[in-house]
Amino acid sequence: MAFLSPKTLTTDEQQALLRVTSEHPRDHLVISLALGTGLRLSELVGLNVADVFFPNGEPRLRITVRAEIAKRGRTGDVFLPDALVPKLREFWRHKRACGEGIGPEAPLLCSQSRRRISRRRIQVVVRAWQVRAGFGRLYPFHALRHTSVTNIYRASRDLFLAQRFARHASPLTTVLYTHPSDDELRQGVRHLTC
C-alpha cells in the first residue's frame, strides 16, 4: 500500500491567498486560521466567539478545541501565532460593525444571514479565492491544514512538535507531513551529475 504525500501550498501560493483575501475580513481570517493553526474544517466552523476571544474582545493566545467539534472528541490546545492576534482584533471590530453576535456562544464565523457558516460554504469560498489568486492547481480545504503542519515540521524539523501541533494521536500519522516540497526536491536535484 503506497502512502501519498498530502498536498501542500507553496510559500508563494500561501502569500497570494492571504494577499487576495486581505480586504475581506471573514475569508482572510478563515485562511489565516487554517494556515496558522492547522484547525480542521469542522473545528474551524464549530468555533464560538468565547473559544477565540475573552469577553472584552481581546484574542486568546491559546484555543482549546472543544470535544464536540474535535475529531473523535479529542480535545486539544491550539496556540495562535503572533501574526494572528492583530487579525483577530480587526475581525472583532468587523463582527461588531456588521452586527454579528459577539456573545460567548455566538459562532465565530457567520454566513451573510449571520448564522454559523457551513462547512460547504467554507470549501466554496476557499476554492473561489484560489481561482481569484490565479492558482494553476486548486486545493481542497484540508490542504491548508496539511500546509500548516508541514510548515511547522519544516521550521522545527521536530516530528513530535509537529505531532502535538497537529493533535495527532500517533507520530506515524505526522510522518506524512515530512515529505520534501517541490522546491526542496528541485534544489536537491539541480546539481546532480548526469
Number of domains in the chain: 1
- Residue 194 counted as domain residue: no
- Residue 185 counted as domain residue: yes
- Residue 6 counted as domain residue: no
How do residues 22-52 score in pLDDT, each as one tens digit? 999 999 999 999 999 999 999 999 999 999 9
pTM tops 0.85: yes
As a whole number, mean pLDDT of residues 46-65 equals: 96
As a whole number, mean pLDDT of residues 154-163 equals: 89
Q: With the C-alpha atoms ordered 57, 62, 65, 71, is the resulting torsion angle positive or negative?
A: positive
Query: Residue 2 has what pLDDT?
Result: 45
As a whole number, mean pLDDT of residues 181-192 equals: 74
- Residue 2 counted as domain residue: no
CB-based contacts of 57: which residues, under 8 Å, 6+ apart? 89, 92, 96, 102
